[in-house]
Structure 1
Amino acid sequence: MELKFRVAARISRPAHEVFEAVADPDKLSAYFTTGGAVGRLEAGETVTWDFHDYPGAFPVEVEEVVPDRKIVLRWAASEGEAPNVEGGEMTPADYKTRVTMNFTPIDGNRTLVEIMEEGWRENQAALQASYGNCQGWAQMLCALKAWIEHGINLRADMYK
């Protein structure tokens, strides 16, 4: 069984605006990376994302970027349950997962955003970690929609 998932949302903004809300570190920091993002998402770059619920900045390798259409990232896998889950403990793993984000224009000024993550080992700890990441990406899409459409930061003070 291959461990992977896909989450999606429709955002009522043009693809360029939605893409920039992810690629631009200042915009991403306004609604998702609660500890901040450093570096624009450009192919060949390594940027950092920091989250209050997972302290410590994560290096994020930018593998591919097609402006306004696609972003492909790789980052270190962890295995186990998230520390913010009672009794949860994650441990670093010696491999990376791949995250693919697609931005598809629909209905004129709307965008379908799809996020897929894949590449976990096939074991229980990796399965648990994939569930946590699936939750995180779904939350990211909700936060993106609330922020870009209504100026609301859903994650403000959620973790500190």
Structure 2
Amino acid sequence: MLQTVKMHFVEHFNVSVEKLWHLFVNPNGWDPWFTDGMSMETFEGGHIRFRWKRITADEVVEDRGVVIFVETFKVFEFWWYEYEDGFRSRVKMTFVPHGKNESWLKIEDSVLVDGEKELSIALGCAYGWGQMLCLAKAYVERGLILI
């Protein structure tokens, strides 16, 4: 029986919400700091193509997604983690300004799993979001690429 596991992640960034938005919502996706050849159509109904190589021990891992909702500088929401005839994960990224040059990114990931036997899927997503936020922070605040 499919169940939804909801996970919440929050990170503070020492950049404006506009700069943070453009880090995450742009045609090149999360290259060069997290993905390898990602592409993103940044409008509702747009397609997302995920591609990793550096963080997967040189194994090319690809997935796709679709943008569900966009409210510029505020909310970016998409489906991803393809399976059967749909997607397993619905992600809502909320961008919150904090003063003039600081912001918060809140991520809510709702992952469909088939009971305890697939709990590792949700745990893998949780690990990935934590890693992605750390890499994004180093890149946008310090210009560092850690992978």
**Does the TM-score normalized on the shorter chain lie above 0.5?**
yes
Would you say the 8 A contact 2:113–2:121 is kept in 1?
no
**1:101-148 CA-partner distances (Å, limit 9, x unpaired):** 000001321111011111413412331111110110111111111000
Partner residue, 2:130: 138
**Identity of counterpart residues, as a percentage?**
21
Aligned partner of 2:144: which letter?
I
Matched, 1:9 2:11: yes
Matched, 1:65 2:70: yes
Q: Secondary structure at the match of 2:19?
A: helix
TM-score by length of 2: 0.85
2:80 to 52, 66, 75: 75
Distance change (3 Å), C-alpha of 1:20 and 1:105: same
Distance in 2 between the 1:144 and 1:42 partners? 22
Would you say the 8 A contact 1:76–1:94 is kept in 2?
no
Partner residue, 1:30: 32
Distance in 2 between the 1:13 and 1:58 partners? 29
**5+ unaligned residues in a row in structure 2: which ranges?**
none
Aligned length: 140
Would you say the 8 A contact 1:12–1:110 is kept in 2?
yes
Aligned partner of 1:42: which letter?
F
**5+ unaligned residues in a row in structure 1: which ranges?**
78-91
Which has the higher mean CA deviation after the structures are superposed, 66-75 or 55-64? 55-64
TM-score by length of 1: 0.79
Partner residue, 1:152: 144
Distance in 1 between the 2:114 and 2:86 partners? 13
Would you say the 8 A contact 2:66–2:79 is kept in 1?
yes
Q: Secondary structure at the match of 1:68?
A: coil
Distance in 2 between the 1:2 and 1:59 partners? 20
Distance change (3 Å), C-alpha of 1:51 and 1:125: farther
Would you say the 8 A contact 1:73–1:100 is kept in 2?
yes
Q: Secondary structure at the match of 2:28?
A: helix
Aligned partner of 2:15: which letter?
R
Aligned partner of 1:58: which letter?
D
Partner residue, 2:23: 21
**1:82-115 CA-partner distances (Å, limit 9, x unpaired):** xxxxxxxxxx555422011000001321111011
